[in-house]
Amino acid sequence: MTGNLSVFAFNSAIVRRPGKSVVRGLRADDRGNPSYEGILTEHDAYVAALKDAGVEVQILEPLEDFPDSIFVEDPALVFTEGAILLNPGVPSRAGETAAIAPVLRDRFETVLPLTGGYVDGGDVLSTPDSVMIGLSARTNLEGANALIGCLAELGRKGLIVETPADVLHFKSDCSLLDNATILTTKRLSASGVFTKFRQIIVPDGEEAAANALRVNDRVFIGIDYPGTIDLLTGEGYRVICLPISEIARIDAGLSCMSLRWHA
């Protein structure tokens, strides 16, 4: 790790403005197409919240050929020490890595390619002690092992864990609230992966709220999860409620819409 920075201390971020094709984004649970205008409004609110938290945001142009390209965290990972280009677990998203690679090479001295397998950034959770890599339908063992090698080159430790069955991404069910605390679901907590952390369990029926996002001194969370909002507010966190109902229609959450690091 670099210095004593917390893994949620960010001053730089990259996002990609949604294209009109975003309404055709991938989804495991089809709840109907989102509206383009709705996603654009939610994305604008997300960018504004990042800026308000003290983060300088680079906004990339839309990629109409890639409906899911708004989710920039899946094809790449970024750290203070460098960036890693991933191989997304869905073939239709493979071109997103090539599209973001030049941007990362402009921003980082070290940019490492994943040498085998496939990994989605949504399966990767950075904690103070390690970078947890959840095996899922989008991240396989070969890719996870290759990612551990890349992380080692950046001076970081990778740890392979399991994503619960029928859960899209590891971070669909968890997020880091502070250096010692994880927000998670009952099903992921029961797996035992977070025994070294204090755990806050989201209420039943609000499982999607577990994909919150800690940015500096605040926690972003979807506005549609009042039980979790009350829980975190009661724990003393500075909670920022954001609209995500349209984005959620394409199986997305708060963490996947930006690449964040401390430059």
Active site residues: 169, 256
Contact criterion met (CB below 8 Å) for 237 and 54: no
Q: Identity (one letter) of the amino acid at 46? A: Y
Helix ranges (DSSP H) in 108-185: 141-153
Strand order in the sheet with 198-201: 174-178, 181-184, 198-201
Number of H helices, E strands in the chain: 5, 15
CA torsion sign for 188, 192, 193, 196 is: positive
d(CA 214, CA 113): 27
The separation between CA 81 and the C-alpha centre of its own chain, rounded to angstroms, equals 18
Q: Look up residue 171 and give its DSSP letter.
A: G
Contact criterion met (CB below 8 Å) for 121 and 75: yes
CA-based nearest residue to 121, from 104, 102, 109: 104
Q: Identity (one letter) of the amino acid at 234? A: G
